[in-house]
Homo-oligomer: A and B are copies of this chain.
Amino acid sequence: MINIGIIGAGRIGKVHAESVMRFVKNATVKAIADPYMNDATIAWAKEMGINEIYTDYHKILEDKDIEIVLICSSTDTHSKISLEAISAGKHIFCEKPIDHDVNKIKEVMEALKNSNVKYQVGFNRRFDHNFMAAREAVKAGKIGDLNILKICSRDPGAPPVSYIKVSGGIFLDMTIHDFDMVRFMSGDEVEEVYAIGGVLVDPAIGEAGDIDTAIITLKLKSGALAVIDNCRRATYGYDQRVEAFGSLGQVAIGNDTDSLAVISNADGVTAEKPKLFFLERYMGAYTAEVNSFIQAVQNDTPTEVNVIDGLKPVLIGLAAKLSLKENRPVKIKEIEEQYGL
């Protein structure tokens, strides 16, 4: 039985705790820590069977019986806690992104080099059964050479403006998942990016210096083309689709729904809306990614989403940000050179 410690008991920390306790064999959550630990969270943790509850996460890092930590704290603490956990010799599953600051990611990369620590970044969509099926089709050659990759990724509603302000902007907060999906689906690297966008959902998002609607085109190393479209508000739910088109055909993934019920009446023939949001759509993927990480730890194999996979989407995101600001295509190389990569 592997002991896990979870750092951060917010929404995503709770998701992982419940997922491990209920669905992951051979692992248990021994401890959870959060600086804002409150009575409700304590009650929840106890009900989940988690007995060690802390405000200071160092208690987890100091616990010799804990082999794995899940870093689910706020983004600005990910790299710092990663470094401490590496020092403590814990295997690390870190929620995305590692950091908005590439230099801090570099520090984590450096520290990992001299350690035996397994490190996985929380790009959960790679573990979604639908996207995995599409990826398998691409890998199996069913579409031939990839020509055009299209990703549609829209949230059901915008987060509070207070969140937007510290989010790093739409490209590092929301599109970062799609940048990862471009790499995952294509098995290729992005070379250049161009972004257009606007404030079409809520002027307050614009006042906070961000946009809420965007289209990003990407050139891949192989010559294949990709495009992502994002919006912070889709009235019909969480819209998460992928199409990979190639020399032999296309594989497409639509939206999962709560049920397959279709009602026909005088108004039309109506199927259900896509699942509401990421917790609903990707619940299985959250379990699968942690299961995959535990297996990598147990079998001493590489993790499926390593620190480089954590870095690359940040670089693409920074390129997209610069592209939008200066209204020009930006090479990833340009960003890499800024950071001596």
Closest B residue, CB atoms, query A243? B152
Q: How far does the alpha carbon of A267 sit from the alpha carbon of B248 in the complex, in Å?
A: 11
Q: Is A328 on the interface with B (CB-CB < 8 A)?
A: yes
Q: Does the CB pair A268–B272 fall under 8 Å? A: yes
Of residues 194 to 242 in A, which have CB atoms within 8 Å of B's CB atoms? 194, 196-201, 213-215, 217, 219, 223-227, 229, 231, 233-236, 239
Q: How far does the alpha carbon of A265 sit from the alpha carbon of B246 in the complex, in Å?
A: 10
Can you list 20 A-B contacts with CB-CB less than 8 angstroms, sorted by A residue number? A22-B23, A134-B259, A134-B261, A143-B265, A150-B229, A194-B196, A194-B329, A200-B223, A235-B248, A235-B265, A236-B264, A236-B266, A250-B263, A251-B261, A251-B262, A252-B263, A253-B261, A264-B273, A269-B272, A269-B274
Q: How far does the alpha carbon of A196 sit from the alpha carbon of B194 in the complex, in Å?
A: 9
A: which residues have CB within 8 A of B? Answer: 22-23, 25, 129-130, 132-134, 137, 142-143, 145, 147-148, 150, 152, 154, 194, 196-201, 213-215, 217, 219, 223-227, 229, 231, 233-236, 239, 245, 247-256, 258-274, 327-329
CB-contact partner of A234 in B134, B145, B239, B250, under 8 A: B250
Closest B residue, CB atoms, query A223? B198
Q: Does the CB pair B235–A263 fall under 8 Å? A: no
Q: Does the CB pair A249–B231 fall under 8 Å? A: no
Q: Does the CB pair A264–B247 fall under 8 Å? A: no
* Chain B residues positioned under 8 Å from A23 (CB to CB): 22-23
Q: Does the CB pair A249–B229 fall under 8 Å? A: no
* Chain B residues positioned under 8 Å from A245 (CB to CB): 154, 231, 234
Q: How far does the alpha carbon of A245 sit from the alpha carbon of B259 in the complex, in Å?
A: 18
Q: Does the CB pair B224–A236 fall under 8 Å? A: no
* Chain B residues positioned under 8 Å from A219 (CB to CB): 196
Q: How far is the CB of A230 from chain B (nearest CB, A)?
A: 9
